[in-house]
A and B are shown apart, each in its own frame.
Chain A
Amino acid sequence: SQTIHQWPATLVQPVGSPLSLECTVEGTSNPNLYWYRQAAGRGLQLLFYSVGIGQISSEVPQNLSASRPQDRQFILSSKKLLLSDSGFYLCAWSVLGTTNEKLFFGSGTQLSVL
């Protein structure tokens, strides 16, 4: 069966520091991968998605970037965090190329920028 791992679960970082959140998927190959951000427990905003290694699409302009160095690995980064980057970050995956598509989420990272 497929599983998605996301870490760390909680992170407190000072303003201006770098960020690296990692997500890996097991039990499937060539998945679509996504990074979402959730503010205050409501509404999920799509930040990035990837359909393959090295292929990243950004949905909104922001202080963050994403990379996919391996098929089942997705990384969210920032060179210098802003206060507004605080939030709950969720990695997700789906199977590429299907019409009956389902999106599965990781357990999330609560990021606090102070």
Chain B
Amino acid sequence: GQQLNQSPQSMFIQEGEDVSMNCTSSSIFNTWLWYKQDPGEGPVLLIALYKAGELTSNGRLTAQFGITRKDSFLNISASIPSDVGIYFCAGGNAGGTSYGKLTFGQGTILTVHP
């Protein structure tokens, strides 16, 4: 089955620093989604990507859909303490019979020191 390799597994940064994380897949996806999860809560959708090469921003967050359709990255600029949490990538092949079933990465735990 499809597998996602998300890296790094964890990051410890100072407030104000930029953050970069990525996901790579063994197979092609037509959808990449990035989520943030706070402790004890469900993941919240940050950015959705649907086209190879697409670059999309949401405030201080920027994500790109790799041109090979096997990878995606998420950047966070000028980190703040509330950016702390677990970030997940998810790949999918929406449409047809896939019904939007997603494959999730193992997550990147982000810690921001004030």
Q: Which residues of A does B touch, CB under 8 Å?
A: 6, 32, 34, 41-44, 46, 49, 51, 59, 90, 92, 94, 96, 98-108, 110
Contacts and interface: CB of A to CB of B under 8 A. Distances in A.
Q: Is the interface of A mostly helix, strand, loop or mixed?
A: strand
Query: Range of interface residues on chain B?
Result: 20 to 34
A32 B99 contact: yes
A101 B43 contact: no
Interface in B8-38: 30-31, 33, 35, 37
B66 interface: no
Interface of B: 30-31, 33, 35, 37, 39-45, 48, 50, 86, 88, 90, 92, 94-95, 99-102, 104-107
A66 B63 CA distance: 34
A98 B104 contact: no
B45 A43 contact: no
A103 B90 contact: yes
A14 B63 CA distance: 43
Nearest to B105: A43
A110 B100 contact: no
A100 B43 contact: no
Contacts of A90: 42-43
